[in-house]
Chains A and B, each alone.
Chain A
């Protein structure tokens, strides 16, 4: 299982890659493994205002439909339109081609409570 060090992690098993005042968000390798084969991803609209904790996307796998929460407050500035028809990217490259959406941060302090790779690995170990 992959745990890249260039991202930060949430307890909802999402990862954030911070670039200035924007963050790119996806689900972790652990999350995609638990979901199973992804068949459909419902993404938010570009320009949507989102608040931390809002349900803003859905990932449908062969097992279930799962909510994706916005990890931060801000505005959606991009969504991964390439996923339409290539949903397997979420399984195959969760930290790369399988990214979900990009948010322009309203409040960078929201990132402070998130986990680094070591903390997340420990968190995942507790889940098992």
Chain B
């Protein structure tokens, strides 16, 4: 028995013996032999290294961590849905407070006024940014927010419009999540190829709409960084009786361009990471979700509202909970019965620290840097912009050598040059998606341009 005793399994040898007695087996192995087929039993210890001391563990972990190339220590031009912006130090300090960090999304109004008020203010700021009337307390991330929006449009149409159209220039991973959600069973996705100019082809959109379509989902700025003509798209979509869903991967864009709501969107979703969250591998990220008041009963997720108590004092409570899983079970609007409470709070801190002017300043500076960088990269021999037109802070450029090769070479120089499009579309080997934010200063951008030139120069480079 002693060899079965484990310091991380809180059963004593005596307790294990007692349990074995109860089920009538002499040893744990004898018990397992009766319930697990012999062919599935390994019959030897797992091939794992032996235990290490604390000192040895720390040294091994430090060695592993040292092999990471953290975006903050490089010149980072990565975008494609995750954006590196400055996160003010005050945010890290505030969000690390135990009251916020360790609380498991408490919703009882009698003990959670602070959390509820924080979420209420988050919702209000999301509405202002997106130009919408109502926002929820957040969902998991931008991709799941888009899938939930398609679900919601399907509910609004009462199942009579089984199809959803997703524009080809929506982030490929967002499209994939929509499919993973199982929408294909009730909503046939039509991935629409982007038009020749990198944006949605309005004529093709119009031709593909019929009374079977519950919604059209577009992204703007789209996956290749371009601004879609949302007012024109909205007119076409609404004329067909469908809803317009707009996804935003960096919400700073909404403080520089007309908001999706002002352009006629019915549901606006977004990835909130760019608003005060670092670019973590695998998250947690933050799904933003907003809609029109008339559609609020079909909106997924939690909603915090302001009300008055019996003495007339203002307070905050979960509202419209009757739509939600903890009340409605199988009839709920969504199976997402939680939200990214801490991340939402963090982005509320970010938005309130910067204010509307600060957000616009970040957007303007990012755009100015991207304009400078785009011009310089386009002027390099062998490089060519894939698309013209209005853009925010990302652009797609054709490269004279395979883009993934360039990216690998520049990593050795401490530069993350961008995201090769082949990562998402294997046959598009010579296209590189480059993003600039306010954190990419002139020296970094000049260095990127120089390195791109060196590594594609047929005389001395890697061609």
Contact = CB atoms under 8 A, between A and B. Distances in A.
B297 A60 contact: yes
Interface in B431-462: none
Interface string A65-86: 1010000000000000000000
Nearest to B332: A65
B411 to A, nearest CB: 54
In this complex, the interface size class of chain B, counting residues with CB under 8 Å from chain A, is under 10
A61 B297 CA distance: 13
A45 B297 contact: no
Interface stretch (B206-214, B320-328, B394-402): B320-328
Interface in B156-192: 158
B158 A67 contact: no
Interface in B294-351: 297, 322-323, 327-328, 331
B353 to A, nearest CB: 37
Given A64-B327, A65-B331, A42 B297 contact: yes
A58 to B, nearest CB: 8
Given A40-B297, A60-B297, A60-B322, A65 B158 contact: no
B158 A45 contact: yes
A64 B322 contact: yes
A40 B158 CA distance: 17
Interface in A35-74: 40, 42, 44-45, 60-61, 63-65, 67
Contacts of B322: 60-61, 63-65
Nearest to A67: B331
Contacts of B327: 64-65
Interface residues of A, number: 10
A60 B297 CA distance: 10
B51 to A, nearest CB: 55
Nearest to B296: A40
Contact of B323 (A45, A65, A67): A65
Interface in A11-52: 40, 42, 44-45
A65 B322 CA distance: 6
Contacts of B328: 64-65
**What secondary structure prevails in chain B residues at the interface with A?**
helix
Nearest to B322: A65
Contacts of A40: 297
A42 B158 CA distance: 11
Contacts of A42: 297
A60 B328 CA distance: 11
A64 B329 CA distance: 11
B49 to A, nearest CB: 55
Contacts of A45: 158
A27 B327 CA distance: 22
A42 B323 CA distance: 12
A65 B321 CA distance: 10
A8 B58 CA distance: 77
Nearest to A60: B322
A64 B322 CA distance: 5
Interface in B5-59: none
Nearest to A40: B297
Contacts of A61: 322
A45 B156 CA distance: 12
A120 B323 CA distance: 31
**Residue among A42, A63, A65 with the most chain B CB within 10 A?**
A65
Contacts of A63: 322
A67 B330 CA distance: 12
Contacts of A60: 297, 322
A64 B328 CA distance: 7
Contacts of A67: 331
Nearest to A64: B322
Contacts of B323: 65
A115 to B, nearest CB: 27
A27 to B, nearest CB: 17
A67 B331 CA distance: 9
B156 to A, nearest CB: 11
A42 B331 CA distance: 14
**Residue among B323, B327, B331 with the most chain A CB within 10 A?**
B331
A56 to B, nearest CB: 9
Nearest to A39: B322
A96 B323 CA distance: 28
A88 B252 CA distance: 43
**Residue among B158, B297, B322, B327 with the most chain A CB within 10 A?**
B322
B211 to A, nearest CB: 13
Contacts of B331: 65, 67
A64 B331 CA distance: 11
Contacts of B158: 44-45
B121 to A, nearest CB: 25
A40 B297 CA distance: 9
Question: Can you list the 9 inter-chain pairs with the closest CB atoms, starting with the nearest?
Answer: A65-B322, A60-B322, A65-B328, A64-B322, A40-B297, A64-B327, A65-B331, A65-B323, A42-B297
16 contacts: A40-B297, A42-B297, A44-B158, A45-B158, A60-B297, A60-B322, A61-B322, A63-B322, A64-B322, A64-B327, A64-B328, A65-B322, A65-B323, A65-B327, A65-B328, A65-B331
Interface of A: 40, 42, 44-45, 60-61, 63-65, 67
Given A45-B158, A61-B322, A64-B322, 8 more contacts: A42-B297, A60-B297, A63-B322, A64-B327, A65-B322, A65-B323, A65-B327, A67-B331
